[in-house]
């Protein structure tokens, strides 16, 4: 049985195709270059692999030669263009409930993504994290999603509203376009998750399209979809997800993972063996996938990446990377720096100050 791969509704690709049509750029050619299945775009409720959507956004960024295109796309996208989740969120009574809906029902739009809404000390944080083993560059797609969130909140907070801060889990872009001003003056990169921080006054504001009756109907349908999605998870996916949660605190062991899944270690091993798998193999391939993404997508120091995937020393991590990729961690990272300035690794949260044009 193949593991369940993270998926996403095709709505962002539909919005992308419309924008490229306005620019007289052939979307079909770009989509074919990354083997994106364009036939699914007839129905916004269809899903594709998250990896394919991420690859599509990267391909478009290269084709239009505009690192701010994803932010422009978010500004031009229609309200509710993310399907049921978009309509549910926009019908919410306040910005706070809008964000709570996004966090609680995110798997309706995209699976495999950790998301949450946390409110304390007078501010709210909308947080999400890419699947740790995603083998594709996520930056353009994540910029689109973050900008879409900000523009929806801005519809309630006013045209000059910006977040208190925004953190991205990928490294800083090679250039900083003017469109980044929508995120406000405090933007940071190389975080362990993407986070948009919102002030309390804005959290209390009503959503302009609030509708209590529709909100109740949408929530009911969302709950049904969530139930169906939960029932489809397979054992391999559940084991991988449990490994990811425990990797960097050195508890990703057979015993702890079996405990998390409420089975005995022996029973879990037997079930994996019937699938032609072993816990040790899943642990190794999960570490490999996460390490590859962190080396490609972030500027975290190598010792931090080693700890993030459960290795106690950089030398042990280096041996593992050589076994996986046949090169050192530094050499593997350099493969993905073409066209960018080389230099020392940046701190985990490198702060970039941008002018606030509002």
Instruction: Give DSSP secondary structure letters for 145-162.
Output: HHHHHHHHHHHHH-TT--
Cβ atoms of 160 and 358 within 8 Å: the answer is yes
pLDDT of residue 353: 34
pLDDT of residue 175: 62
Cβ atoms of 194 and 187 within 8 Å: the answer is no
pLDDT of residue 314: 93
282: left (phi over 0), alpha (psi -120 to 50) or beta: alpha
pTM of structure: 0.76
Burial class of residue 339 in the structure, from the number of CB atoms within 10 Å of its CB (0-12 exposed, 13-18 middle, 19+ buried): exposed
Cβ atoms of 142 and 170 within 8 Å: the answer is yes
Cβ atoms of 239 and 268 within 8 Å: the answer is yes
How many CB atoms are closer than 10 A to CB 141? 24
pLDDT of residue 348: 33
pLDDT of residue 19: 86
CATH architecture of 235-334: Orthogonal Bundle (1.10)
Per-residue pLDDT of the chain in tens (358 residues, 90 and over written 9)? 445 678 898 989 998 998 888 888 999 999 999 999 999 888 877 889 999 999 999 999 989 888 788 998 888 876 656 677 888 888 999 999 999 999 998 888 888 888 999 999 889 999 999 887 787 888 999 999 999 999 999 999 998 999 999 999 988 876 666 778 999 999 999 998 999 999 999 999 999 999 999 999 998 888 887 776 665 557 888 898 889 889 877 789 999 999 998 889 998 998 888 777 899 999 999 999 999 989 988 999 999 999 999 998 999 999 999 999 999 999 999 887 754 433 333 333 333 333 333 3
Domain boundaries, the chain: 67-230, 235-334
Calculate the CA dihedral of residues 143, 181, 204, 206 and round it to 10 degrees. Answer: -80
How many CB atoms are closer than 10 A to CB 252? 21
């Amino acid at each position: 049985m193949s593991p369940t791969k993270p998926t996403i509704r095709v709505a962002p690709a539909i919005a992308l195709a419309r924008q490229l049509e306005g620019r007289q750029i052939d979307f079909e050619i770009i989509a074919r270059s990354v083997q994106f299945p364009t036939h699914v775009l007839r129905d916004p409720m269809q899903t594709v692999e998250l990896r394919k959507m991420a690859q599509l956004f990267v391909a478009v960024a290269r084709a239009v030669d505009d690192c701010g295109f994803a932010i422009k796309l978010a500004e031009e996208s229609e309200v509710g263009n993310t399907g049921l989740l978009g309509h549910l969120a926009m019908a919410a009574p306040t910005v706070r409930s809008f964000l709570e809906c996004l966090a609680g029902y995110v798997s309706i739009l995209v699976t495999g993504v950790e998301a949450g809404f946390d409110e304390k000390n007078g501010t709210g944080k909308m947080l999400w994290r890419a699947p740790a083993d995603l083998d594709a560059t996520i930056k353009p797609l994540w910029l689109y999603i973050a900008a879409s969130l900000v523009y929806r909140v801005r519809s309630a907070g006013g045209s000059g509203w910006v977040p208190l801060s925004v953190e991205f889990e990928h490294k800083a872009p090679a250039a900083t376009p003017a469109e980044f001003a929508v995120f406000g003056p405090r933007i940071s990169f190389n975080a362990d998750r993407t986070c948009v921080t919102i002030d309390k006054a804005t959290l209390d504001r009503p959503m302009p399209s609030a509708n209590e009756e529709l909100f109740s109907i949408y929530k009911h349908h969302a709950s049904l979809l969530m139930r169906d999605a939960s029932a489809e998870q397979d054992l391999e996916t559940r084991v991988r997800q449990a490994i990811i949660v425990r990797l960097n605190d050195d508890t990703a062991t057979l015993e702890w993972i079996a405990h998390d899944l409420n089975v005995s270690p022996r029973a879990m091993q037997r079930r994996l063996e019937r699938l032609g798998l072993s816990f040790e193999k899943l642990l190794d391939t999960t570490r490999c996938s996460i390490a590859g993404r962190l080396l490609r997508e972030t500027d975290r120091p190598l010792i931090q990446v080693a700890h993030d995937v459960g290795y106690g020393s950089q030398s042990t991590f280096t041996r593992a990377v050589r076994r996986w990729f046949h090169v050192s961690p530094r050499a593997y990272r350099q493969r993905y720096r073409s066209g960018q300035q080389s230099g020392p690794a940046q701190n985990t949260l490198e702060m970039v100050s941008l002018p606030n044009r509002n």
